[in-house]
Amino acid sequence: MSSWGNKVKISIFGESHGPAIGVVLDGIEPGIRLDMDELLLNMGRRAPGKDKAATPRKEADMPNILSGVLDGVTTGAPICCVIENTNTRSGDYGNILSKPRPGHADYTGFMRYNGFNDIRGGGHFSGRLTAPLVFAGSVCRQALKLQGFKIASHIYSVNTVQDKPFDPISIDDSLIERLNQKSFPLIDEAVENEMRSVIESARLSQDSVGGIIECCATGVKAGLGSPMFEGAENVISSVMFGVPAVKGLEFGAGFDITKMHGSQSNDPFKYENGKVVTTSNNNGGIIGGITTGMPIILRAAIKPTASISQQQSTVDLQTKENTTLVVKGRHDPCIVSRASVVIESALALALINL
Ligand SMILES: Cc1cc2nc3c(=O)[nH]c(=O)nc-3n(C[C@H](O)[C@H](O)[C@H](O)COP(=O)(O)O)c2cc1C
């Protein structure tokens, strides 16, 4: 279902080409003054039509807050936010009603909902449904900031082009603030042109590319998370895999930890200014499902956009024949840049629950 959370709950509703999408966010403390500029900046980082690396569909993504906020301050009541869909072109989807797009959720959605799911623009499976997630995550983020938590992400890679990784031990506030402003966030901005040209050449050949988003949280208290099934990794993963196009997740050194010896992968402890820290952070700030107090570091694998306009093989579910499909509509040649703030928002939602 599209409802999630224990202490702070979200329920996301809507379809890409319906009248609106939105979220009900319940459990936020009263008395938090929302920084609307920061919230709109986050919405803008995800919104379509802002960057040539992304879809040309333009949407203002202006959140209309219907409840739970009075004079800019949270009341403690459920916060309901609605975002209008204004730039729909459902005619583009006529040819996929019976011909599922390879890599998208048309076929699985058809099987799950007996063909009753709204297929226009991907319906409830659309990346557009991450706009309300960014709204909810941004509110959570502001609540977390009051407790010293900070979250940032960058484009770790697009296809085979790589940015520099986060320093897993110490991430400067100045870097976090710089990344938080960007719609194409990079630690090493010298790689931007190369990344953009990989995306552009995919677009020109009616293709798409994927990549990896690296996300961090600093100021995290030690001791959050409850094993076995409500550990920090479990809770974070549960929200992350709600983000469409996420196909893998790793924490700390991730899969590379398997190439190390224990003498290298263990994170040795030491006291620093009276606080227990570790001198490496291969576990990504989580051990035994419980936060260590070191930065949480994770990487989310984002697949290449499914909807490409090259001719592809598919089936016709009505005639039960093999056929081909040319996908119309406006699609991101690369989802990674727009998804970065979505991954940050998913982490915020997980952390506020932890
Ligand atoms: C911000 C964002 C934008 C997206 N835009 C598109 C798009 O334009 N075209 C597309 O085919 N998929 C897009 N997706 C991904 C699909 O929604 C997703 O691949 C699909 O629902 C299948 O789910 P899965 O990839 O998680 O298995 C986007 C995802 C995100 C997070």
Cα of 75 from ligand 1 centre, angstroms: 34
Of the pLDDT bands very low, low, confident and very high (cuts 50, 70, 90), residue 97 is: confident
Q: Percent of the chain scored above 70 by pLDDT? A: 95
The closest residue, in CA terms, to atom 25 on ligand 1 is 245
Residue nearest to ligand 1 atom 7, measured at CA: 331
Give the ligand 1 atom nearest the CA of 46.
1
Pick the atom of ligand 1 nearest to 247's CA: 26
Ligand 1 mutation target, pool 21, 332, 338, 340, most atoms within 8 A of CB? 332
The answer, yes or no, to whether residue 286 has pLDDT greater than 80, is: yes
Q: According to the model, what pLDDT value does residue 347 have?
A: 98
In whole angstroms, what separates CA 198 from the centre of its chain? 21
pLDDT of 121 = 87
| Contact (CB, 8 A) for 154 and 185 | yes
Mean pLDDT of 28-45: 97
Q: What is the pLDDT of residues 170-204, one digit of tens each?
A: 999 999 999 999 999 999 999 999 999 999 999 99
- List residues near ligand 1 (CB under 6 A): 46, 55, 104-105, 122, 125-127, 130, 243-245, 303, 305-307, 331-332, 335, 338-339, 342
What backbone torsions phi and psi does residue 201 show, to the nearest 5 degrees? -70, -30
Domain ranges in the chain? 3-353
- Probe target for ligand 1 pocket from 104, 135, 341, with the most ligand atoms within 8 Å of CB: 104
Mean pLDDT of the chain: 95
Q: Please report, for residues 29, 37, 95, the alpha-carbon distance to residue 149 in angstroms, rounded to integers and kept in the order given.
A: 16, 19, 47
| Ramachandran area for residue 219 (φ above 0: left; ψ -120 to 50: alpha; else beta) | left
| Ligand 1 centre distance from Cα of residue 15 (Å) | 13
Hey, whose CA ends up nearest to atom 6 of ligand 1?
127
pTM: 0.96
Tell me the H-state helices in the chain. 36-46, 106-112, 130-145, 173-180, 192-204, 232-240, 262-265, 336-353
The β-bridge partners of 80 are: 24, 67
pLDDT band, residue 90 (cuts 50/70/90):
low
| 58 or 175, which is more confident | 175
**DSSP assignment, residue 231?**
S
Centre of ligand 1 to C-alpha 336, Å, is 10
Can you give the pLDDT at residue 49?
75
Tens of pLDDT, residues 133-153: 999 999 999 999 999 999 999
Fold of 3-353: Chorismate synthase, AroC fold (3.60.150)
pLDDT of residue 48: 83
Question: Contact, 127 vs 242, CB < 8 A?
Answer: no
Rounded mean pLDDT, 84-98: 73
Q: How far apart are CA 343 and CA 334, in angstroms?
A: 15
- Of all protein residues, whose CA lies closest to atom 24 belonging to ligand 1? 245
Q: What is the pLDDT of residue 94?
A: 65
**Residue 33, CA distances (Å) to 143, 349, 353 in order:** 9, 18, 20
Region 122-136: what's the mean pLDDT?
96
Residues 281-303, mean pLDDT to the nearest whole number: 98
127 CA → ligand 1 middle, Å = 5
- For residue 176, how far is its CA from the centre of ligand 1 (angstroms)? 26
The ligand 1 atom at the shortest distance from the C-alpha of residue 306 is 11
Interval between CA 1 and ligand 1 midpoint (Å) = 17
Out of 335, 337, 342, 345, give the residue to mutate to test ligand 1, the one with the largest number of ligand atoms within 8 Å of its CB: 335
- Tell how far the Cα of 148 is from the centroid of ligand 1, in angstroms: 32
Atom of ligand 1 nearest to the CA of 327: 11
Give the tens place of pLDDT for each residue, 316-354: 999 999 999 998 877 889 999 999 999 999 999 999 999
SS (H, E, C) 271-308: EECCEEEECCCCCCCEECCEECCCCEEEEEEECCCCCC
With beta carbons less than 8 A apart as the criterion, state whether 326 and 309 touch: yes
